[in-house]
Structure 1
Amino acid sequence: MECAAKGSGRTRCTGAATRPCARCGAVAYCSLSHQIEHWSSHKHECDRLEQQMESVHLLNDFPFTFSQEATVQIFLKQETRCSFLSKRGIHQKGMWMIECRCGESSASFDCLRTSWSKEFSLGRLNNSWDLPRNLYPCYAPESQIPVQLHSWSDYYNWRCIPLDSPAALLLHWPLTIYHAAQLVGIGTLNPEVCDKLYLHYLGPEKELLQLDVFGELQALFPGVHIHIELVGPAIPPQRSDALLDGEKISISRYASSNEDQSTCKSASENAILSTQSGITSAVTLQLWHGLYHDRYRDIVKDSSPHLVIAPNGGIAAYPSWLPSIELIEKLDVPAVFTDYCEEACHLAASCIENVINRSFRLPVQVNPFRQPIAVEDSVLLLPCYSNCFVFGM
């Protein structure tokens, strides 16, 4: 962890940040002198961070058998994401490749470009679970979805997945979409949605290497065609041998393991086929390189959104968000944002409210479908999880 006064003091940091603030415990310093120097800035946030630290136990509360290992032990550096994945035989495999530091450094569009191009041309993705069949949803649900899913326990029970399965580490992407839709009143019973749901998904990064997991939206929104426009600078610009800007991807079945592709089948396999057959699939994705406000005119040629969602947006950290926020306000459609910790959401909320000149319709709150594994070496000592908190305008 970095010293909270790094870059703001008159002297350089003397070493590791081992001196936490005795009051809030959310920031740490390399020396007493840096702590004293930084107090003039920190005093304005200390009370707020102290309140946020009181939610540590709530944020670490997951129903899984591995919860202690994935939360407290990783936070205390007794475990790492690499060791967690290695124990389960999924380190550097399939869709798990990007879930640890070594994966973040090696997994890229450049190294996967050729194989992805081939797979997309066949109407499927080259991503897999690399887990035993009983540990992930590779098939349609055995029963109708409940009126609403409220927790990971609800979801695992409905999908008949044992609580020792790490599948939630990837499923937090589609489940966060599901939760966001429920929060703003969009569901399969909403007359405005009918049989089609259009989403504008802003700023995708890691999930671009896990796109197959979005096939679970077939189960979460039964009978609804989901079309998602993914737009962000992390999507490569147009190249002959890569993902193409504007390219459409058909997800025609649930994500499977490389070993189980012959046995894991969609319950509606006869009806959910590739667009190459002229039949619309249950989930389609379209990729757009660039910022939302720059690409919006291109995107809405095909659809206007029912919902705009920006997972792990980091809105306060990037001024380029402001024109997009202004655009979203003009669209007058529900917009839901998530971030890694409550403080990031607080800073984002301040930025957004300065642009729209009103308070949020959806206040900052815990996302029950946050990723159940801690972020390593976060800037703050606050508990941080992917898609941890949710708020909206």
Structure 2
Amino acid sequence: MLCMISHLPSLWNLLSRDLHQVGMWNYECKCGASHSSNYSRIDNCWSLPSESCPCCEPLVPLSKRLNNWEDYYEWRCLPLYSPVSLLLHWPLTLYHVFQLTRSMPISEVHDKVHIHYLGPERELLQLSVFAELQTLFPGLEVNIELIGPAIPQFRDGEKIDLCSYCNCFGEGCSCKFESENASQVVLNGKPLGVTLKLHKGFYHDLYGDIVKDSFPHFIFAANAGVAVYSSWLPTIELIKEMDVPAVFTDYCEEAANLAASCISTVTGRPLTIPIQLNPFRQPMVVEDSALILPCYSNCFLFGM
């Protein structure tokens, strides 16, 4: 059923589920793009019934590696018709990248994982979904530095603590109680599950200040467009010198191939992680792509 979702127009998808122009879903079709300037709003609701969204702790802790959306839906006890994968591809892709980079020579992870997330755009309007990383990284605090020119100036330096899951719309659901409980954890000064910090600008300009408090276990850039934007060149040079795993995604294989060629030209060596399909890509075709090719958000990934 997830495969069937991918070929339906997003507007039809959202209308059929009463999600059109609602909360975080507002930015998943072209008519929501006009509202995308409202970067100050943080929505914390799935606008779905509890049985269709991961609004609470999982029934069982994560005990085995998740390999695809079917694994995730089964673990989270979600019906396959639930549309949450249309938003959860952001944190699930981070989870998958972490699994890929663990086999590489990265710093040993103890109680925290630090991620430098480059070039966020639409994610800035859907930040609440990153709360799902609490359960995908059990026993770890997750610190994400989001760095990019699309971050508004008034949000530069903003810190966001995600200490509860996105809520469902059910009034009597336990997720409401869990949200209140999570706020008490903050008051008591206990560690939070996921912390986000926003930085406006390019990574190669801001790196020196950011690494004073957060040296990354890995670097990630979603739908990066490395071959399109020349601003990536000094960032790739910097990552080469850092010798830290860096993973990029793009909308289609052709874009990934062009990006891989650019990276290899700068680094003088082949990719460490070859181009491959991301099993947690967004399962809905991009409607307004300029390419005459099937395109999906976070579709192909590759790394240096």
Please give the TM-score of this superposition, normalised by the length of structure 2. Answer: 0.93
TM-aligned CA distance change 1:383 to 1:96, over 3 Å: same
The count of residues paired between Structure 1 and Structure 2 equals: 303
- The equivalent residue for 1:263 is 174
Match among 342, 352, 373 for residue 284 of structure 2: 373
Match of 1:172 in 2: 89
Contact 1:186 1:193 in 2 (8 A): no
Q: Say whether the 8 Å CA contact 1:138–1:265 is kept in structure 2.
A: no
CA distance in 1, matches of 2:172, 2:303: 38
User: Aligned partners of 1:261, 1:301: CA distance in 2, in Å?
Assistant: 44
Quickly say closer, same or farther: Cα 1:191–1:314, change in 2 above 3 A.
closer
Q: Does 1:325 align with 2:241?
A: no
Q: 2:16 matched to 1:87?
A: yes
2:208 matched to which residue of 1?
A: 297
1:195 aligns with 2:111: yes
Per-residue CA deviations over 1:135-168 (Å, capped at 9, x if unaligned) read 1100111112132111111000000000010010
Q: Which has the larger radius of gyration?
A: 1
- Match of 1:311? 222
- Whether contact under 8 Å (1:133, 1:260) holds in the other structure is no
Please say if residues 165 and 179 of structure 2, whose CA atoms lie closer than 8 Å, have aligned partners that are also in contact. Answer: no
Q: CA deviation at 1:94?
A: 1.1
- Counterpart of 1:357 in structure 2: which amino acid? G
CA shift, 1:277, in A, is 3.9
Q: Contact between 2:53 and 2:168, CA under 8 Å: does it hold in 1?
A: no
Letter in 2 for 1:226: V
Maintained 8 Å contact 1:204/1:231: yes
- Unaligned 5+ residue runs, structure 1? 1-62, 75-79, 117-124, 239-243
Match of 1:97 in 2: 26
Q: What is the TM-score normalised by the length of structure 1? A: 0.73
Report the CA distance between 1:194 and its aligned residue.
1.3
Give the number of the structure with larger relative contact order, counting CA–CA contacts within 8 Å between residues 6 or more apart. 2
CA drift of 1:269 comes to 7.5
* Post-superposition offset of 1:275: 4.1
- 8 Å contact from structure 2 (residues 49, 170) kept in 1: no
Offset at 1:192?
A: 1.0
> Following superposition of structure 1 onto structure 2, how do residues 105-124 of structure 1 map, counting pairs within 5 Å?
105-109=34-38, 113=40, 116=41
2:54 maps to 1:137: yes
Q: Percent identity?
A: 54
Match of 1:286, SS state, is: strand
Match of 2:75 in 1: 158
Give the corresponding residue for 1:71.
6
**In the TM superposition, what whole-angstrom CA distance separates every residue of 1:259-281 from its partner, at most 9, and x where no partner exists?**
54863158798577564542221
Once residues 179 and 226 of structure 2 are traced to their aligned partners in structure 1, the CA distance between those partners, rounded to angstroms, is: 39
- What CA distance in whole angstroms lies between the structure 2 residues aligned with 1:266 and 1:213? 18
Aligned to 2:129: 213
Cα 1:296–1:195 change in 2 (3 A) is same
Please say if 1:182 is aligned against 2:99.
yes
Indicate the residue corresponding to 1:37 in structure 2: none
Deviation at 1:337, TM superposition (A): 0.5
Asked if structure 1 preserves the Cα contact closer than 8 Å seen for 2:286 and 2:297, the reply is yes
Alignment counterpart, residue 156 of structure 2, candidates 238, 245, 251: 245
Contact 2:50 2:170 in 1 (8 A): no
- Using a 3 Å threshold, how does the CA distance of structure 1 residues 174 and 158 change in structure 2: closer, same or farther? same
Is the alpha carbon distance of 1:260 and 1:283 closer, same or farther for their aligned partners in structure 2, counting shifts above 3 Å? farther
Which residues of structure 2 form unaligned runs of 5+?
none
8 Å CA contact 1:256, 1:264 repeated in 2: yes
- Of 255, 261, 267, 1:356 maps to 267
* Aligned partner letter, 1:378: S
Task: Tell me how far apart the structure 2 counterparts of residues 212 and 264 of structure 1 sit (CA, whole Å).
Answer: 14
Q: Which moved more, 1:83-92 or 1:275-284?
A: 275-284
Alpha-carbon distance in structure 1 between the residues aligned to 2:160 and 2:201? 18
Structure 1 residue 127, shift from structure 2 partner: 2.9
Change (3 A) 1:391 1:146: same
Provide the residue aligned with 2:303 in structure 1. Answer: 392
Amino acid at match of 2:99: Q
Q: CA deviation at 1:132?
A: 0.9
SS at match of 2:198: strand
CA displacement at 1:377 relative to structure 2: 3.4
Matched, 1:236 2:152: yes
